Amino acid sequence: MALVGILFALAVIFVLHRLLRLHTLKDIPGPTPSNWFLGYVYDLSPKPIGTPFKEWTRTYGQTYKLRGPFGVSELVVGDPKGAAYVLNSPDFQRSYSDRVALEEFFGDGVFNAEVNQDCARQRAVLNTAFSPTNVREVAHVLFDLAERLAKEWEDELQQAGPAGILSEMTSKMQRVAIDAISQTTFSYTLSADPHIPAMIAKIADVPSNALTLIAESLVDTFPILYKVPSPMRDWTVMLRTELGKIADRIWQESGGSEGGMHSKLLDAMGKSKMITGEPMNRDTAIANMCAVIFAGYETTANILAECLYELAKKPSIQDALRTELSTLTSTENCSLTYDDLTDTAALPYLDAVTRETFRTKAVLLTITRAAVAPSTIPLAFPVKSTGATSVAVEPGQVVNVPVRDGIHADPAIWGEDVDEFKPERWLGEEEKLPEAVRMIKAPGHLLTFGDGPKTCLGRYFATAEFKIVLATVIQRFVIEDVEDVYDFYRQTSDTIKPRIRGREHEPPQLNLRVKWAEIA
């Protein structure tokens, strides 16, 4: 009972603190939550992705407010012009709760370095590891991993009949992705480790629910809550410890200079003094290893699995992609190369499928920022209730930019066919894209990798990995749908996982049928 009283008192203080320091956004429309205590979290957490944000945009427009836990207002900016401003302006940074959580779980790395000299130094170091030049140098590792996956399926198909085989795609893609990031960045095969993949899975698979999201809100005022012992915190500490052992061993074997032929991340961190003028200490290096694994492992694996699910439901798109890939290799009488896959003129349909996947299957549901100074957000679409073309916010105001179910799924931005998986929208001249799409200033007019100073460092690597694996799979195999219907849910770690409809209590899974591809 004493604990309940303490928590209630903290909640009251939290509410008063937030309500006193923030404007209520009284002129901004928004839905009334079903539960005042939980706010919009109550309406969002139990549902598959793809529902509430779309409904709210349709009803209230691109810019609206949500009542969070305890009635505190959060501003939603699903406006392309407004989102570009929020994500590029120094007036908006990661929320305090996000920074505390990232530091507590992953250490003092680039994840929680803000837009200052420290952030610039760390990003400069990591940028060298994921530069287009370095991605090209390690591309053969990605091809080898894609070949390993193809060989596994080929061996299974040799023993199977015409019906092909069933394959669970999330685990297959996770193994490819974790080895892609670990082999190329610190010359280690993480999938062969008996402990690390299991720890990562435990951290990434914590379901999102009302209680976890309320805790995320409370920590904005009471960061001490993140220091309370919990299984998730214990797993992240163990993960940092294990990764530290790996890094120490590799650095010792290499004499402290370069980690090995493909150790791009460790090489860059070892040369930090040469790049920025200051060495990177061991703890920061380990924190950055954790950051790179979480940013590049689950995200790429999940988007690959979702893409294959989409193509399984749309065999005509799969066939068109296979034809383009096969035509190129038969004409040149050679295998696909990294240059082929990154040349949009050589493989325009592959690029279109990639961009459409990044639009419709973006791993980011929302990007959250908090105002650190008074600011006025410009809008392309006026506020629905007032016609205002800007919104003024005060320091402390939380702003959510909805990505997957917001800006990427708004018919006012993309057209009435927005819900259709349609690679053809990306073919042709960029000027033919709708004007509102071109207002999205992020690379490729997509927010899949964020925008502004915190744009994903590994976007070139992730795109190359996606194209290499997808091209290898589609050129050799036909991927078919099965009877199960899948919905996709947000996890507490902000990953997105598939679950079979009607069997949501089961672990995440995505089963598809694999057959030989017949190439004319």
Please report, in range form, the residues annotated as the binding site for heme: 456
List, as residue ranges, the binding site: 456
Nearest 5°: CA angle at 230, between 369 and 42? 50
Q: Kindly tell me the sign of the dihedral angle through the C-alpha atoms of 492, 498, 501, 506.
A: negative
- Please check whether residue 117 is in contact with residue 276, taking contact to mean a CB–CB distance below 8 angstroms: no
Report which of 40, 47, 41 is spatially closest to residue 504, judged by C-alpha positions: 47
Alpha-carbon distance of 51 to 479, in angstroms, equals 27
Counting every residue written for the chain, the total comes to 520
The per-residue b/e assignment along 303-323, b for 16 or more CB within 10 angstroms, e otherwise, is bbbbbbbbbbebeebbebbbe
Residue 406, Cβ density class (10 Å: 0-12 exposed, 13-18 middle, ≥19 buried)? buried
Tokens 């995200």 correspond to what residue? 299
Residue 234 falls in which region: left (phi positive, over 0), alpha (psi -120 to 50) or beta: alpha
Tokens 């809100």 correspond to what residue? 217
Count CB atoms within 10 A of the CB of residue 422: 18
Residue 444 falls in which region: left (phi positive, over 0), alpha (psi -120 to 50) or beta: left
